[in-house]
């Protein structure tokens, strides 16, 4: 668990990354390598699909986990919140990924029909890494005293 003085991120540390794209008449390939296109080793991959219209996902922050989120099919919005500011990023390209740093609250919403959300994660699944209560998130975010310096 991150304690006082540990790194905390802002929504501005969460960037939209342009991923490589090899296009040919036979289709396109986008490779993502840990430590290259994403600034962490990839320990886990998962994907969200069959999301019913009007549903939202997320609604939590992670203490240490970093993620790259890609709309490999369709589109959706990600609302980021660091406790001080918010921004919404629309993902709708298979060659763009949103890097989400630790200690940033996220909500995924406005999924298009058939959307597939690919997540590349820096850690295996660990429930203790989640902060699922928004008030607890705000308290944890404000307890950190070195904002803006996420782990590399």
Q: Are 91 and 112 in contact (CB under 8 A)?
A: no
Q: Does residue number 107 form part of the binding site for ligand TYD (CB under 6 A)?
A: no
Q: Using the minimum distance from each CB to ligand TYD, give the nearer residue, 39 or 58.
A: 58
Please name which of 148, 102, 101 lies closest in space to residue 129, comparing C-alpha atoms: 102
Q: Of 12, 21, 29, 46, which lies in the binding site for ligand TYD, with binding defined by CB under 6 A?
A: 46
Choose which of 57, 90, 93, 149 interacts with ligand TYD (CB under 6 A): 57
Q: How far is the CB of 134 from ligand TYD (least distance, A)?
A: 14
Among 34, 58, 74, 147, binds ligand TYD (CB under 6 A): 58
Q: Which of 108, 119, 116, 99 is nearest to 43 (CA)?
A: 119
Which CB, 32 or 131, lies closer to ligand TYD?
131
Give the residue among 67, 78, 14 at the shortest CA–CA distance from 44: 67
The single residue of 60, 62, 144, 149 carrying the catalytic annotation is: 60
Query: Candidates 10-18, 41-49, 93-101, 140-148 — which segment interacts with ligand TYD by CB under 6 A?
Result: 41-49
- Assign residue 65 a region: left if phi > 0, alpha if psi is -120 to 50, beta otherwise? beta
Q: Does residue 93 bind ligand TYD (CB under 6 A)?
A: no
Q: Is 144 a catalytic site residue?
A: no
Interaction of residue 125 with ligand TYD, rule CB under 6 A: yes
User: Residue 9: which of 118, 69, 87 has the closest Cα?
Assistant: 87
Q: What angle do CA 65, 35, 102 make, to 5 degrees?
A: 20
Q: Site residues (CB under 6 A) for ligand TYD?
A: 44, 46, 48, 57-58, 125
């Amino acid at each position: 668990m991150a304690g006082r003085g540990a790194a905390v991120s802002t929504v501005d540390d969460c960037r939209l990354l342009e991923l490589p794209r090899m296009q040919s008449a036979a289709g396109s390939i986008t490779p993502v390598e840990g430590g290259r296109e994403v600034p962490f080793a990839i320990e886990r991959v998962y994907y969200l699909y069959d999301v019913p219209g009007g549903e939202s996902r997320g609604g939590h922050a992670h203490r240490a986990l970093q993620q790259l989120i890609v709309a490999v099919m369709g589109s959706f919005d990600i609302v980021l919140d660091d406790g001080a500011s918010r921004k919404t990023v629309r993902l709708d390209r298979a060659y763009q990924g949103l890097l989400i740093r630790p200690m940033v609250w996220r909500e995924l919403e406005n999924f298009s029909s058939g959307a597939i959300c690919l997540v590349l994660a820096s850690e295996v699944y660990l429930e203790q890494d989640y902060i699922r209560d928004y008030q607890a998130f705000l308290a944890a975010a404000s307890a950190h005293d070195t904002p803006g310096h996420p782990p590399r």
